[in-house]
Structure 1
Amino acid sequence: MPAYVIGQMQIHNRDWMEEYFGQIPEVVSRHAGRFMVRGGDPERLEGESDLPDAAFIIAFPDREHAQAFWRSDDFQRLARLRRSGSSLNAILVDALE
């Protein structure tokens, strides 16, 4: 069953962004993932929490592929870089059958 990593990011500085975004698509692809959504300028439709600066959805063939991506050394190296200038809320969910 397909699974999705859904994230909302607050950007505190942009020093890390060129290196991170230059490499993350390849790391996602190596784990059979693909970006469904990746961008900024979110629009509030409902709710009161702060809007993120950017949001993303990454599709994977299944939960195991998503977890392998998240735990991989390549992603964790990039995640440390990202954390130097942003904060992220991310969840893993399964698709509907």
Structure 2
Amino acid sequence: MAAYLVGNLKVTNVEGFTEYRNLVGKTIADPGGEYVVADVKSVPMEGNPEHLSVVLKFPDMDALKRWYDSPEYQEILPLRLDKAKVSLRSPKTRFWNKSPARWALLASA
């Protein structure tokens, strides 16, 4: 089953973040990952959206974890850490095929 990584980033150092941005794509592609969304012009519906929204798709959770833990990604990760405030999460994809009313019930299961 596909695994997704959802990220919201507030870039605090655009120039410094550029190097990370230029290198991260190859590390995502190596284990079969791909960008679903990479957007700097999100339309706010609720709350205060960050500067950049990203959704990545991997073949499965093992591939997502292999990417995040890979030496290639870990080598470039420091380029991002002090240049952006980041929230990353991987939703349980089994929720996505259920109606929103059932999400809360499934979350407690």
TM-score by length of structure 1 reads 0.88
The answer for the alignment partner of 1:4 in structure 2 is 4
The answer for the alignment partner of 1:64 in structure 2 is 62
Match of 1:87 among 68, 85, 88: 85
The residue correspondences of 1:31-50 to structure 2 (distance < 5 A) are 31-45=31-45, 47-48=46-47, 50=48
Percent of aligned pairs sharing the same letter: 17
Task: Tell me which amino acid in the other structure corresponds to 1:13.
Answer: N
Which one has a larger percent strand, Structure 1 or Structure 2? 1
Greater relative contact order: 1 or 2 (C-alpha under 8 angstroms, separation 6 or more)? 1
Which one has a larger percent helix, Structure 1 or Structure 2? 2
Task: Return 5+ residue gaps in structure 2 as ranges.
Answer: 98-109
Measured on the aligned residues, the alpha-carbon RMSD in Å equals 1.4
Task: Return 5+ residue gaps in structure 1 as ranges.
Answer: none
Structure 1 stretches of 4+ moved >4 Å: none
Find the aligned partners of 1:78 and 1:94 in 2 and give their Cα distance: 27
Task: Look up the SS of the partner of 1:9 in the other structure.
Answer: strand
TM-score by length of structure 2 reads 0.79
Question: How many residue pairs align between the two structures?
Answer: 95
